Amino acid sequence: MSWQPELDELARRTAMAEAMGGADKVGRQHQAGRLTVRERIQRLVDAGSFHEVGALSGIGEYDAHGQLRHVTPANCVFGRAAVDGRPVVVVGDDFTVRGGSADASIAAKPLMAEDMAAELRLPIVRVIEGSGGGGSVKTIETKGASNLPGGIGGTRLFWRTTANLAEVPVVGLGLGSVAGLGAARLASTHFSVMTKASAMFVAGPPVVARLGQALDKQALGGADIQTRSGAVDLAVDTEDEAFAATRRFLSYLPSSVHGVAPVQPCDDDPQRADEMLLSAVPRDRRKVYKMRPIIEAVVDRGSFFEMGRNFGRSIIAGLARLQGLPVLLLASDPFHYGGAWGADTCQKVVRMVDLAETFHLPVVYLMDCPGFMIGLEAERSATIRHGVRAMAALNQSTVPWCTVIVRNAFGVAGAAHQPAGRFSLRYAWLSAYWGSLPLEGGIEAAYRAEIEAAPDPKAKLAEIEERLNALRSPFRSAERFWVEEIIDPRRTRALLCDFAKLAEPLRTPGPARLAMRP
Amino acid sequence: MKRTPVPADVAGTVWQIVVAAGETVAAEQELVVLESMKMEIPAVSPHAGVVREILVTQGEAVAEGQVLLVIDAG
């Protein structure tokens, strides 16, 4: 006798799992313009690479004779797969089964996915739709007791949700309405993406209506809100773009903190000297210029992958390659308050430097920072405390670091351009300009007596400004060895590629001294 | 017709209004220059079109996100 009957039952049960919430629910998902969790996983990973764990789990219904009628699958689908040939863990919510909520969940499944990623030292991609937490208030009736969040036996998923940030790359995709624990799992990532049709919130419109805020999903937690708030890094039009962004993000990172990022072959000449760089910064210091073309000119062609573009916009941040070596790139954006750091920008700097430190990515900073943001709003948002926090993140970093001073370096934010307690590389462009504080406004304060005593205070002010400006040349600072090198900006790429070669062997696998927080 | 509000990316004062109502503009064209952090920061057209309405005056203080002008899709 063979085990053919059982083999048939395995096939029957597998088919039930693959049918998810049934044809009606799957149809509804498609009509809403969304893919099912299984389609999502299939499109995200290398063809045929998904190896599911726990497909048979769910709620079984049996007839009076104990014969199986149907299994409603658990609404969490997870397993191993490959992305660009590298193994990953994927865990997804099945919205066709009770709206992806925890009512139909088996708590051990998402937890095992997170455990598996940490133990196998593999990146995890969370494909999120729904709430996935303690379920609806109805659960109180079905369970006969109210759930204590983080109560006995219920803590480990909360722990892994954040702890994995210090172990493996964590990507979150918000594809649909994401609330509660779902929102927490999306926000607690190294890189998060949502489609523009999706929405993410702590609690949705019906709950928020009780506060007197009549908002629809988009107005409450749409892509505009969540990418500008910094809760989500990227908004895209289609789910396929979200999958492509995930694959691209992972390509710059090691599989875990226990390794270093793969170096790709590079056919872009490290000596490429873009002529545009010599005139990229206007001589008129009141005029702004575009930083992104400068980034494109110095990193490997087409390698810059920007993250969090809508948040903390005074800093442009992302991943890039220098002769194939992945680096974290920070660059000022003068179009946003001249590149001054507000509280939001400081938060972005902390997160990005922590990402680099966690995964041993060398850091390149193309700097043009006139200081911290000033004014009442800046004080109200605790710019200075967020500012010193950013400075601390730089100072605590141990990864190789290279700063290029493109134009301004003023004040304390000006000082926060390299780790202060150790050696790092630094170059200043010919357009570099720095000081304890900008002359404008500063002169009136420092030379008040002299200006007030003059017969023509305005003329006196101009005279002092001219006198001081003559001393502002970066060459005078170089004479004193306050700055190491002043360079032809066209040499920037060659010098950054040189930095990458120096940095490559310095990358040291292992957990970072400080565990990264979301 | 699609009406696109062009908001101020930064808080500051209106330094210069570069275009006039009724004018045809190209994508990325400078529309208004704001002064913020002692720098001249242009607000540019998100797409080609016609300037429908200018909602600020020179020297006016504007908040971040305040609509400066409205463009019609060309």
ipTM: 0.90
What does pLDDT average to in each consecutive run of 10 residues of chain A (518 residues)? 94 97 96 97 98 95 95 95 98 86 76 98 96 68 84 90 98 96 96 98 94 96 97 98 98 98 96 97 94 98 98 98 98 96 98 98 97 94 98 98 97 94 97 82 83 90 86 92 97 98 98 95
Specify the pLDDT at position A129: 95
A residues 265-324 near B, CB within 8 Å?
285-288, 313
Chain B residues in contact with A336 (beta carbon < 8 A): 9-10
Specify the pLDDT at position A133: 57
Question: Which of A286, A313, A377 is the closest to B38 by Cβ?
Answer: A286
Specify the pLDDT at position A445: 82
Calpha distance A79→A272 (Å, rounded): 44
Specify the pLDDT at position A131: 80
Specify the pLDDT at position A136: 66
Q: Which two tokens stand for residue A211?
A: 């506060």
Chain A residues in contact with B33 (beta carbon < 8 A): none
Bin A213: left if φ > 0, else alpha if -120 < ψ < 50, else beta.
beta
Q: Which two tokens stand for residue A181?
A: 């624990």
Task: Let me know: does A312 contact A344? Beta carbons within 8 Å.
Answer: yes
Residues β-bridged to residue A321: A326
User: Would you report the helix, strand and coil content of chain B in percent, each value rounded to 5?
Assistant: 0, 55, 45
Residues β-bridged to residue A177: A199
Chain B residues in contact with A374 (beta carbon < 8 A): 37
Is A380 near chain B, with CB under 8 Å? no
Task: Let me know: does A317 contact A352? Beta carbons within 8 Å.
Answer: yes
Is A337 near chain B, with CB under 8 Å? yes
C-alpha distances in Å from residue A434, one per residue of A336, A351, A395, A415? 19, 26, 21, 10
Chain B residues in contact with A370 (beta carbon < 8 A): 37-39
- Beta pairing, strands B3-7 & B67-73: antiparallel
Task: Let me know: does A323 contact A266? Beta carbons within 8 Å.
Answer: yes
Calpha distance B38→A439 (Å, rounded): 11
The 8 Å CB, 24+ separation contacts for A107-113 are: A107/A154, A107/A157, A109/A54, A109/A57, A109/A74, A109/A76, A109/A78, A110/A76, A110/A78, A110/A157, A111/A156, A111/A157, A111/A160, A112/A53, A112/A54, A112/A78, A113/A53, A113/A76, A113/A78, A113/A89
User: What dihedral angle (degrees, nearest 10) is formed by the CA atoms of A481, A487, A489, A495?
Assistant: -100
Chain B residues in contact with A375 (beta carbon < 8 A): 11
Is A369 near chain B, with CB under 8 Å? no
Q: Which two tokens stand for residue B50?
A: 């016609």
Beta-carbon separation of A440 and B38 below 8 A:
yes
Calpha distance A178→A162 (Å, rounded): 18
Residue in A with minimal Cα distance to B37: A337
Nearest Cα of chain B lies from the Cα of A109 at a distance, in angstroms, of 44
Calpha distance B65→A342 (Å, rounded): 16
Least Cα distance to A117 among A85, A67, A161 occurs for: A161
C-alpha distances in Å from residue B32, one per residue of A213, B37, B68? 34, 16, 8
Calpha distance A428→A487 (Å, rounded): 6
Beta-carbon separation of B39 and A338 below 8 A:
yes
Residue in A with minimal Cα distance to B38: A286
Nearest Cα of chain A lies from the Cα of B71 at a distance, in angstroms, of 20
Q: pTM, whole model, 2 decimals? A: 0.94
A residues 182-201 near B, CB within 8 Å?
none
Beta-carbon separation of A377 and B11 below 8 A:
yes
Question: Which of A335, A375, A441 is the closest to B9 by Cβ?
Answer: A335
Is B9 near chain A, with CB under 8 Å? yes
Residues β-bridged to residue A179: A201
Specify the pLDDT at position A135: 61
Of the CA atoms within 13 Å of residue A175, those in its CB half-sphere come to: 30
Calpha distance A346→A352 (Å, rounded): 10
Residue in B with minimal Cα distance to A289: B41
Specify the pLDDT at position A462: 87
Nearest Cα of chain A lies from the Cα of B38 at a distance, in angstroms, of 7
Total number of residues shown for chain B? 74
Total number of residues shown for chain A? 518
Task: Let me know: does A513 contact A353? Beta carbons within 8 Å.
Answer: no
Calpha distance A352→A373 (Å, rounded): 20
Q: Which two tokens stand for residue A240?
A: 């396929």
Q: How many pairs of residues across A and B have Cβ atoms under 8 Å apart?
A: 38
Is B42 near chain A, with CB under 8 Å? yes
Beta-carbon separation of B9 and A370 below 8 A:
no
Calpha distance A409→A435 (Å, rounded): 7
Beta-carbon separation of A337 and B10 below 8 A:
yes
Calpha distance A2→A6 (Å, rounded): 9
Question: Which of A288, A373, A374 is the closest to B41 by Cβ?
Answer: A288
Calpha distance A451→A445 (Å, rounded): 10
Task: Let me know: does A257 contact A167? Beta carbons within 8 Å.
Answer: yes
Any idea what DSSP says for residue A319?
A: E
Domains of chain B by range and CATH?
3-73 (2.40.50.100)
Chain A residues in contact with B41 (beta carbon < 8 A): 288, 334-335, 337-338
Chain A residues in contact with B38 (beta carbon < 8 A): 286, 338, 370, 438, 440-441
A residues 480-499 near B, CB within 8 Å?
none
Under-70 pLDDT residues of chain B: 1, 74
Task: Let me know: does A487 contact A427? Beta carbons within 8 Å.
Answer: yes
User: Would you report the helix, strand and coil content of chain A in percent, each value rounded to 5?
Assistant: 40, 20, 40
Residue in A with minimal Cα distance to B36: A337
Helix crossing, A343-358 with A383-396: angle to 10°?
20
Task: Let me know: does A477 contact A433? Beta carbons within 8 Å.
Answer: no
Residues β-bridged to residue A195: A236
Residue in A with minimal Cα distance to B41: A335
Question: Which of A334, A373, A441 is the closest to B39 by Cβ?
Answer: A334
Residues 6+ apart with CB under 8 A from A229: A311
Any idea what DSSP says for residue A256?
A: S
Chain B residues in contact with A338 (beta carbon < 8 A): 36-39, 41
Q: What is the DSSP string of A144-168?
A: TS---TT-TT--HHHHHHHHGGGTS
The secondary structure element, H or E, covering residue A195 is strand A191-195
Question: Which of A336, A377, A438 is the closest to B38 by Cβ?
Answer: A438
